[in-house]
Amino acid sequence: MKTAPITGRLILLCLAAAPAFAQSSGTLLVANQKDHTLSLIDAASATQTVAIQEDRITGHEVTTSPDGRTAYVPIYGNAGVGRPGTDGQEMLVIDLPSRKITGTVDFGHPVRPHLPIFDTKRNVLYVSTELDQAITAIDPKTLKILYKIPTGAAESHMFALSHDGKFAYTTNVGPSSVSVLDLNTHKLLTVIPIEGPGAGPNAGPDATPGKVRVQRISVSNDDKLLFTSDWDKPRLAVIDTATRKLKTWIPLPGTGYGSASTHDGRYLILCLSKSSKVAIIDLKTLTVTQTIDVPAQPQEVLIRPDGKVAYVSCNNDHKVAAIDLATFKVTALIDAGNLADGLAWSNISTTTAAGGGSH
């Protein structure tokens, strides 16, 4: 879909209430690729209360400002990474209390903007701009582009920030590598190749030479390890951030995808997208301890700020699974949109936003 000036109607789709589900207050945001919508899910009731629809919400990912009042949705385009299709060049800015699109960031040319992450230490919003082979920094107040950090590789689709605020790590899909970026100097430090065979005692029988495709990435809570799955084989690459080298491969019971560490640093919650499961990985032993059944094609994991629940977007079944991290049980399956993908959290309640109640 080609980008165009904001002329489309903004529609609030209101949905029936579901039985109460005890969770902390706040709102889960879900970017739904095929519906071109942004779901707002009330955490207290585990119910989708509003879907914001506008012709150009074809973004895959979403993030929110630290105060939870603003959402940022880059408009990627209508194709998958590395595939032909339209190339987006804008990012929508949405005021969550009013549920209105209040601005755009125009990158000036097609860049396929994809993942937004807010750097709270610098009050800067980063967005992966794939066709520029860079991470682009934006001033969230003026919506002006500040600078770009080159990744030195094509198809820099996803990235993660270290918790100490020093580095960004991008996964470069086509080249099968991870770039290390210095956030203070805005420079590329190195590119880490991800290739077989696996190293270390956990390499497993699937860690064989050949092409490795990586896409999503996460960082351990102590910033010592990076995790990115082989998109084609059931194994998870573990990178040592000190040596900036592949440390080991963890064999998986299915092909891995999005992941996130629990707040206590004990476990990695990993989507097994082709298996309709989520794997729980013990980060002390670097082994899978159990799997949890979820709806089809789990994509992304978001750990709720209180650390009690992991939300998992499930692409094919239009659902978000809520997993209790004390019991590792699915406690709710929440309706979302078609091709539910990117997740974000806001401390603004959907039951009080825009005057409260349903619309």
Domain extent listing, the chain: 11-355
Distance CA(213)–CA(167), nearest Å, equals 22
* Residue whose C-alpha is closest to residue 149's, from 141, 140, 161: 161
Given this model, what pLDDT does residue 263 score? Answer: 96
Given this model, what pLDDT does residue 83 score? Answer: 85
Residue 208, number of CB atoms within 10 A of its CB: 13
Strand partners, 88: none
Given this model, what pLDDT does residue 196 score? Answer: 66
Report, as ranges of residue numbers, the positions in the chain whose pLDDT lies below 50.
Answer: 1-23, 198-208, 353-359
Given this model, what pLDDT does residue 78 score? Answer: 85
Given this model, what pLDDT does residue 231 score? Answer: 87
pTM of this prediction exceeds 0.85: yes
Given this model, what pLDDT does residue 305 score? Answer: 95
Given this model, what pLDDT does residue 3 score? Answer: 36
- CATH of segment(s) 11-355: 2.130.10.10
Given this model, what pLDDT does residue 197 score? Answer: 56
CB 76 within 8 A of CB 149: no
Q: Determine the distance from the C-alpha atom of residue 49 to the mean position of all C-alpha atoms in its chain, rounded to a whole number.
A: 22
Average pLDDT for the chain? 87
Location of structure tokens 């899910």: 41
Given this model, what pLDDT does residue 354 score? Answer: 47
| Exposed e or buried b per residue across 162-185, where buried means at least 16 C-beta atoms within 10 angstroms of its C-beta | beeeebbbbbbbebbbbbbbebee
Given this model, what pLDDT does residue 18 score? Answer: 36
